[in-house]
């Protein structure tokens, strides 16, 4: 059974409640009904559908959830997923970036300066060379990356990647594609 099939089965609220009750230890239709607040008929119909799909064993009123199938489906989906696009051509930089950047956002700002410089050089690329930015716009651009815009802004200025004068910022360092 694949992950998409499992997700489809669990997208229906009654079946989700039945699976949740079984995962929490219910073993009969009556136990599931009591734990989930569903009627016996709703539980029986959902259990029948889950049994046809192979997620539940049903023997009269007894039910057993095949929890191992969830893990197997998740592993298969992870193996089948395409490898993520590298964030840098340099393998060392890519390793740092994949540790700290997920879905286009910083999960944390690295404490180690060398790693922080790699991340900051990646972040500063949102600023166009030669363009002046008011602080409000800098904050908006940095908020896309991380909620602590003040820390990011300070690190970018301290490392010479951005320069600030009279509340206006401009890019003054970092790698630039030509």
Q: Are residues 100 and 69 in the same domain?
A: no
pLDDT tens column, 17-43: 999 999 999 999 999 999 999 999 999
Q: Are residues 69 and 116 in the same domain?
A: no
The residues pairing with 165 across neighbouring beta strands, listed in sequence order, are: 168
Q: Are residues 131 and 71 in the same domain?
A: no
CATH number, position 62 = 1.10.10.10
The confidence score (pLDDT) of residue 164 equals 96
pLDDT tens column, 67-105: 999 999 888 888 887 777 888 888 899 999 999 998 889
CATH number, position 166 = 1.10.10
- Asked if the structure places residue 81 within a domain, the reply is no
- Asked if the structure places residue 159 within a domain, the reply is yes
Q: Are residues 9 and 67 in the same domain?
A: yes
* Ramachandran bin of 132, using left for φ above 0, alpha for ψ from -120 to 50, beta for the remaining angles: beta
d(CA 96, CA 87) in angstroms, rounded, equals 9
Q: Are residues 61 and 102 in the same domain?
A: no
d(CA 3, CA 1) in angstroms, rounded, equals 7
The confidence score (pLDDT) of residue 84 equals 75
- Asked if the structure places residue 82 within a domain, the reply is no
- Place 178 in a pLDDT band, splitting at 50, 70 and 90: low
Last residue of a domain, one of 24, 51, 75: 75
Q: Which residues contact 57 (CB under 8 A, 6 or more apart)?
A: 51, 63, 64, 66
Q: Are residues 21 and 67 in the same domain?
A: yes
Pair 98, 106: CB distance under 8 Å = no
Last residue of a domain, one of 18, 41, 75: 75
Question: What is the span of the domain harbouring residue 151?
Answer: 91-171
- Asked if the structure places residue 40 within a domain, the reply is yes
Q: Are residues 103 and 164 in the same domain?
A: yes
What's the total number of domains in the chain? 2
């Amino acid at each position: 059974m694949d992950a998409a099939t499992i997700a489809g089965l669990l997208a229906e609220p009654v079946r989700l409640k039945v699976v949740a009750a079984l995962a929490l230890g219910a073993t009969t239709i009556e136990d599931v009904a009591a734990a989930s607040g569903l009627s016996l008929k709703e539980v029986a119909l959902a259990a029948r559908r889950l049994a046809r799909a192979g997620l539940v064993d049903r023997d009269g009123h007894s039910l057993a959830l095949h929890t191992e199938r969830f893990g197997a489906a998740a592993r298969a989906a992870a193996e089948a997923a395409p490898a993520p696009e590298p964030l840098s051509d340099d393998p060392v930089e890519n390793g740092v970036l994949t540790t700290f950047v997920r879905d286009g956002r910083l999960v944390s700002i690295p404490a180690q300066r060398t790693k922080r410089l790699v991340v900051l050089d990646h972040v500063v690329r949102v600023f166009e060379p030669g363009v002046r930015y008011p602080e409000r716009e800098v904050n908006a651009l940095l908020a896309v990356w991380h909620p602590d815009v003040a820390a990011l802004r300070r690190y970018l200025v301290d490392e010479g990647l951005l320069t600030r004068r009279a509340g206006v910022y401009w890019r003054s360092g970092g790698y630039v594609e030509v």
